[in-house]
């Protein structure tokens, strides 16, 4: 796998090690895949624990994807939350207007007035970010050292 060589010059000696990248990659691939799979599952478990739960749909959408080789010696262990609103929970939202599409009115129960109300549009105040995926990844990474 390695091929050491040396060179002697007046007053100096240097050594060089040449790596057989193909052989090294062949040895690394199963170890890297196994390690990345384990870490991906740990991040998945931690993200599911940290994700906010209202209906359980967001938590159920979190899955560790198969590891993939980014380069010969670099393995990625992606974890995905595929619920349509996962990004908005993770990154948060700015204040924005919500407009009715079908039927021309938004309908919901408003606790403040104690009854059902109808509006053509409402001003949403925005939502604070809950970076549950990044937090999970950081916690798992910190445990690896």
Residue-wise pLDDT tens digits, 40-86: 999 999 999 999 999 999 999 999 999 988 887 788 999 999 999 99
Cα within 13 Å of Cα(13), Cβ side: 2
Query: How confident is the prediction for the chain on average, in pLDDT?
Result: 88
Evaluate if pTM is beyond 0.85.
no
Alpha helices in 51-73 (DSSP H): 57-60
CA distance 107 to 96: 18
Instruction: Using the predicted structure, report yes or no on whether residue 110 has a pLDDT greater than 80.
Output: yes
pLDDT of the residue at 13: 73
């Amino acid at each position: 796998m390695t091929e050491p060589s040396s060179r002697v010059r007046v007053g100096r000696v240097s050594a060089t090690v040449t790596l057989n990248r193909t052989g090294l990659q062949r040895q690394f691939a199963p170890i890297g895949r196994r390690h990345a799979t384990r870490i991906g599952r740990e991040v998945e478990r931690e993200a599911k624990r940290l994700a906010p739960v209202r209906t359980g749909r967001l938590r159920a959408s979190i899955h560790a994807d198969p590891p993939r080789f980014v380069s010969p010696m670099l393995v990625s262990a992606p974890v995905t939350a595929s619920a349509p609103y996962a990004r908005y929970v993770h990154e948060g939202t700015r204040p924005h207007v919500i407009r009715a599409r079908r039927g021309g009115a938004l309908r919901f129960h408003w606790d403040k007035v104690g009854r059902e109300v109808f509006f053509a549009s409402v001003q949403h105040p925005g939502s604070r970010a809950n970076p549950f995926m990044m937090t999970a990844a950081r916690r798992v990474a910190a445990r690896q050292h």
